[in-house]
Amino acid sequence: MKKILVATEKPFAPVAVEGIKNVFDKAGYEVMMLEKYTDKADLLKAVETADGMIIRSDQASAEVIEAAANLRIIVRAGAGYDNIDLDACTAKKVVAMNTPGQNSNAVAELAFAMMLYNIRNGFNGTSGSELRGKTIGIHAYGNVGKYVATIAKGFGMIVHAFDPFVKKEDIEKDGVNAVDSVEELYKKCQYISLHIPANEKTKKSIDYKLLSSMPKGATLVNTARKEVICEDSLLKVFEERTDFNYLSDLVPDCKDIVKEKFAGRYIFPAKKMGAQTSEANINAGIAAAEQIVAFFEKGDNTFQVNR
């Protein structure tokens, strides 16, 4: 009997866990749950006998992959897989997958939740402003970027996007203005919504040059990864521009300085909340479970991200 570990430091909603268990029950697989663990040793122990594994932002380091003697597949229930050591997976012939698109709407909605909370001054009773008529730049036009565009148009925002991997005509089909460079995007837009992955090319790429070029009312919305921000630049722009706001689903390393000096101009949740809805948990969790069953039963490796 195949053993599947669901290791989620930040658990799925109970209804999603039920759905995941149903998929594995039907396939005749055993499910092992490891939720809210605080010690890496617990993960190393739990993975020892697993044939397959579902994770979220949990760290699947080389040490974890090494500890999993029987592991054949690991699925990140979500989009970004920068938390998986892909080389370690490839070296051990472990297939790594993600579940693209499954939690995208939830992430896009959170971007707007943060924007509205911020533009209405945290609902503190004072007069705020509106999103209608403001410019928004979508930095990377993937699954989340597309949802952000749809919602932004609903709010009456002027929507621009930049993505070097998507054809301009495909962006413009959606009624979004595709700009030619990342510099142009930041120069044009009061709001920037970030949707780039964290990798060697993008880490610290959101720098002083880009941030300081944004027009008055500059607001950076980060539902992507904290690593893509150059935090020295972030702090410099916060200092220099009283109109600059940073709304982030990821708590930056410089959080203490921001909290002390820039009250009312930032949002950081307790934990990453973008994908934390029951709908997104059901979509991504069940997709992950189905991908594991399809892999074992039919050799299906659609969505494999390591080769």
Where does this chain bind ligand 3PG (CB under 6 A)?
A: 10, 56-57, 78-80, 103, 272, 274-276
CB-nearest residue to ligand 3PG: 78
CB of residue 75 to ligand 3PG, shortest distance in Å: 12
Beta carbon nearer to ligand 3PG, 12 or 238: 12
CB of residue 58 to ligand 3PG, shortest distance in Å: 8
- Residue identified by tokens 């659609």 is 302
CB of residue 43 to ligand 3PG, shortest distance in Å: 15
Beta carbon nearer to ligand 3PG, 222 or 245: 222
Beta carbon nearer to ligand 3PG, 179 or 275: 275
> Rounded to an integer, what distance in angstroms lies between the CA atom of residue 2 and that of residue 268?
40
**Max CA pair span of the chain:** 61
Beta carbon nearer to ligand 3PG, 79 or 218: 79
Beta carbon nearer to ligand 3PG, 61 or 212: 61
CB of residue 11 to ligand 3PG, shortest distance in Å: 10
Beta carbon nearer to ligand 3PG, 10 or 153: 10
CB of residue 272 to ligand 3PG, shortest distance in Å: 5
CB of residue 16 to ligand 3PG, shortest distance in Å: 11
Query: What secondary structure does DSSP assign to the chain, as a single string?
Result: --EEEEEESSPPPHHHHHHHHHHHHHHT-EEEEEES---HHHHHHHGGG-SEEEESS--B-HHHHHH-TT--EEEESSS--TTB-HHHHHHTT-EEEE-TTTTHHHHHHHHHHHHHHHHTGGGSSS----STT-EEEEES-SHHHHHHHHHHHHTT-EEEEE-TTS-HHHHHTTT-EEPS-HHHHHHH-SEEEE----STTTTT-B-HHHHHTS-TT-EEEE-S-GGGB-HHHHHHHHHH-TT-EEEESS--TTHHHHHHH-TTSEE--SS--TT-SHHHHHHHHHHHHHHHHHHHHH---TTB---
CA-to-CA separations, 256 to 15, 205, 251, in angstroms, rounded: 36, 22, 10
* Cβ(284)–Cβ(78) below 8 Å: yes
CB of residue 168 to ligand 3PG, shortest distance in Å: 26
Beta carbon nearer to ligand 3PG, 19 or 78: 78
**End-to-end alpha carbon distance in the chain:** 27
Beta carbon nearer to ligand 3PG, 252 or 274: 274
CB of residue 241 to ligand 3PG, shortest distance in Å: 28
